[in-house]
Structures are given as structure tokens and as C-alpha cells.
Amino acid sequence: MTIELRPLTAADAQAHCAGEDELTVRWLTGGYGTVEGTIEFFEWLAGNADARVGKRGFGIWKSGRLCGYIDYNPDLDDGLDPDDVALAYAVHPWARGHGVAVEAVQLVCDVLRAEELGTRAAIRVEPENSASVRVAQKAGFSYLRDFPSNRDTQPDGTPTTFSLYLLDL
């Protein structure tokens, strides 16, 4: 299987929003996006990419069709060391279970190496998110520890517990 990563544009917002489902909302976004809000988010990511700062994101494309999203954030410090770069991703339901997320994570790690950004890639995942745990393991990341978040909370207000998986870059 071959996938590619491309910066997202306003033209991709509708397909991106259509790919969201309750698992995406549960594990990544916390709510369904609107096309307008998604366009603003994509423009913000493009500005970050142009300035070479902050979070940068990509669409994941398979056979010419948008099938997910992945980003990296060198500024996230919740549970991470200063030179760790956090990764986050979601795959549309129709493309799940085919190794798309694993390949996308590996491609983003290649970008981080080429840009010499950070010393380790980090995946923070709630332990109950077994699909994302498998992605981290299949992409060659090693489990380091569990930790309570200092910024994310459960619906009842308690801190979210994350498992931390790392890969040397």
C-alpha cells in the first residue's frame, strides 16, 4: 500500500469533516468539526508550516482519496521532554485496519528527521484506545510510561491518563 501526505487546503475541508466519526471525536477532537472551522484550522496549520513553527498537519491520501489526518507538534509539553515531538492522527472509517496510520506515522517521522526537528517522536494515547496503541507498536515506538495529563480531562473532570510511546529520530 502506498499513501502520501499533503498539506490540507480549504478544498479538503468537506471530505475531512465527512471522515469524522464517533471514534475520531472520542480519541482526538472532542467534537465534530464544521467546514468553516476546519478551513480556519487548515489555514492556521499552513501559516505555521510557512513560518516553520508550531503544530503542522497533513492530509493522509490513499489512491487519490483523503483518508485521514496527521500532525506533529514540537511545542506540546504535556508529559513530554523538551526535544520530544508529539504526533496525533485519525483515519477515516473506510480506511481503517489497512496500515494507513502506521505508514503515515512513519512518513511524518521521516519529515521530522529531514527537518532535524526533535530527538524523539512521541505518541500519547489513552490506554483504552487499543487501535492507536497498535499503531505505535507497529510503527516501532516503545512504551515508556503512563502519566496523568496536566491539560486534558475526562468528562468527570479527572485528568486523562495517557500512555507514552517514543521513537528515537
In the numeric block, which cell numbers belong to residue 79? 508529559
Q: Detail the DSSP E strand segments found in 7-116.
A: 56-62, 65-73, 84-91
pLDDT in tens, 90-110: 999 999 999 999 999 999 999
Query: What's the DSSP call for residue 81?
Result: -
pLDDT in tens, 126-154: 999 999 999 999 999 999 999 999 999 98
Sign of CA dihedral 127, 104, 46, 114: positive
Residue 126 DSSP SS3 = coil
pLDDT of residue 6: 96
Q: What is the mean pLDDT of the chain?
A: 94
In the numeric block, which cell numbers belong to residue 117? 526537528
For residue 1, pLDDT beyond 80: no
- Give the predicted TM-score (pTM) of the model: 0.93
Q: Where are the domains of the chain?
A: 3-168
Tracing cell 485496519 back to the chain, one arrives at 97
Closest CA to 20 of 33, 11, 35, 4: 33
Looking at domain 3-168, which CATH architecture does it have?
3-Layer(aba) Sandwich (3.40)
